[in-house]
Structure 1
Amino acid sequence: MALQLLEQSGVAAPAGEPGSAAWMQAVIDGLCDLSSRDALTGLSNRRNFQVALLREIDRVARAGEPALLLTADIDHFKQVNDRCGHAAGDLVLKAVAAALQDSVRPMDTVARIGGEEFAIILPNCPPAFGEAVAERIRRRVADRPVAISPRHEINVSVSIGGAYAPQWVRSTATVWCERADLQLYRAKAQGRNRVCIEPTAVSLVSAEEKGLLFGTSQFMDLE
């Protein structure tokens, strides 16, 4: 059953003697990779994204390095499905996924987290560079028409929102995602095909994050 699953997903057959330790390890590695990848685009799936997000939150809280979370949404994607069909929609999703992956560093995590929704975690990304990175991603998508048939190409764009994890603060995945989504909504409201990053260089610390920071502090015992 494991081999059938790998084959159906387009994964090459494990090398080595069937039943050997190396062969079994290759099968296990293949299954683990499938469980962390989006089947259509090959990007990280939502579960793997959540793991990476929590890992980055922990790193930012301990090391204080800046980290940027971008959320991206394909503009007017429903119209692509309605006018051109779901097969064309799949081609658009794969093309956008490739453009996102090509626009970032190997250390960055690019994930498909919903239908036409993507997210990118950029560790060690100072505020001075965040908007430039997001703009590069937006332009890369806009500059790559998607061929949905030999004679038909369509132009695609994305709206992007971004937020920084507050340094030295152990935030939560929910709070960080909500901040990035808020900026994504701004980008959509302002006309789409644009980038909106939190207007402050250093993210404001929410009440929830203050509670996480000070709720178990030793200074509470002095009150």
Structure 2
Amino acid sequence: MDTSPSSPSLIDARQLQLEQALQLLQQAGALLPEAEPYSPDWLQGLVDALCDLSSKDALTGLVNRRSFEMALGREVDRVARSGEPALLMMLDIDHFKAVNDSHGHIAGDMVIQSVARAIGQTVRPMDTVARVGGEEFAIILPNCPTSFGATVAERLRERVAEQRVEVSPGQQLQVTVSLGGAFAPQWVRSSSLLWIERADRQLYRAKAEGRNRACLEPHTDSLVSAEEKGMLFAVTQQDSE
């Protein structure tokens, strides 16, 4: 295949309509490529910047829900292959609606950003922190021993509770969070949905027990579910054919 500049199968990069993409990056405060405009390096930098922008939550800079789901799927596969423990935690800001109702949505955004910073300052660089809903976050902690899960969850809860969010001059808010966590079953082919459901059940339990607390699925409950047994049987059956 002829890939020379004169090949009719290639187009001049200057014919591309990139104004909207550039405007989007500028509005997001992203750094534009420093290479010669429309050069291969410049175009690659533009693509990389757009990919990075599409994977992040605009308000907090954390991973967005789509990227979180992709990362969770990869972690499910990794745990099934390696057998290393991995913890998924779902985190929800307590009484967040009251913040918006009493102080306005700008104050609500400030609270969300403060909680995001607190989480980011507490977890490891290898962990994935995502904003998956309005006031809901998710954290994937690979290679997290079961004996360490409760310590991590409590550290996160305390770190958020220590924050004081100045929503207006002289007015500060203290916010708390509820957390729920579950470990992926090791050496078992599971699914992202089942893992999220397990963590969500513990989050609902934390809220039902009074909020501002962390509840983790007891290790004895982290057994293979009927759905996972079915998935494991299906994989085994396919391998034998």
Kindly report structure 1 stretches of 4+ aligned residues shifted beyond 4 Å.
218-221
Indicate the residue corresponding to 1:25 in structure 2: 44
Distance 1:201 1:140, change over 3 A: farther
Indicate the residue corresponding to 2:17 in structure 1: none
Pairing 1:158–2:174 present:
no
| Counterpart among 32, 36, 59 of residue 13 in structure 1 | 32
Q: Which has the larger radius of gyration?
A: 2
In structure 2, what residue type is equivalent to 1:29? Answer: D
* TM-score between the two structures when normalised by the length of structure 2: 0.89
Indicate the residue corresponding to 1:131 in structure 2: 150
Indicate the residue corresponding to 2:210 in structure 1: 191
| Counterpart among 175, 186, 197 of residue 178 in structure 1 | 197
Q: Distance in 2 between matches of 1:39 and 1:55?
A: 24
Q: Distance in 1 between matches of 2:238 and 2:221?
A: 25
Q: Percent identity?
A: 64
| Structure 1 residue 13: Cα displacement | 2.4
Q: Are 1:127 and 1:201, in contact at CA under 8 Å, matched by a contact in 2?
A: no
| Counterpart among 13, 30, 35 of residue 54 in structure 2 | 35
Distance 1:204 1:26, change over 3 A: same
| Counterpart among 58, 77, 86 of residue 105 in structure 2 | 86
Q: Are 2:65 and 2:131, in contact at CA under 8 Å, matched by a contact in 1?
A: yes
Report the 3-state secondary structure (helix = DSSP H, G, I; strand = E; otherwise coil) of the residue aligned with 2:219.
Answer: coil
In structure 1, what residue type is equivalent to 2:33? Answer: P
Indicate the residue corresponding to 1:4 in structure 2: 23
- For structure 2, the residue ranges without an aligned partner over 5 or more in a row are 1-19
Segment drifting more, 22-31 vs 62-71: 22-31
Q: Are 1:164 and 1:202, in contact at CA under 8 Å, matched by a contact in 2?
A: no
Q: Are 2:32 and 2:49, in contact at CA under 8 Å, matched by a contact in 1?
A: no
| Counterpart among 109, 112, 115 of residue 96 in structure 1 | 115
Report the 3-state secondary structure (helix = DSSP H, G, I; strand = E; otherwise coil) of the residue aligned with 1:215.
Answer: helix
In structure 2, what residue type is equivalent to 1:98? Answer: R
Q: Are 1:53 and 1:173, in contact at CA under 8 Å, matched by a contact in 2?
A: yes
**Count of aligned pairs between the two proteins:** 221
- For structure 1, the residue ranges without an aligned partner over 5 or more in a row are none
Q: Are 1:43 and 1:112, in contact at CA under 8 Å, matched by a contact in 2?
A: yes
Q: Are 1:162 and 1:197, in contact at CA under 8 Å, matched by a contact in 2?
A: yes
* TM-score between the two structures when normalised by the length of structure 1: 0.96
| Structure 1 residue 218: Cα displacement | 4.4
Q: Distance in 2 between matches of 1:192 and 1:82?
A: 19
Q: Distance in 1 between matches of 2:191 and 2:121?
A: 28
Taking only aligned residues, the RMSD between alpha carbons, in angstroms, comes to 1.5
Segment drifting more, 162-171 vs 10-19: 10-19
Segment drifting more, 206-215 vs 64-73: 206-215
Q: Are 1:166 and 1:202, in contact at CA under 8 Å, matched by a contact in 2?
A: no
Distance 1:134 1:17, change over 3 A: same
Deviations 1:23-77 (A, max 9, x none): 1111111100011000101000000000000000000000000000000000000
Q: Distance in 2 between matches of 1:165 and 1:47?
A: 20
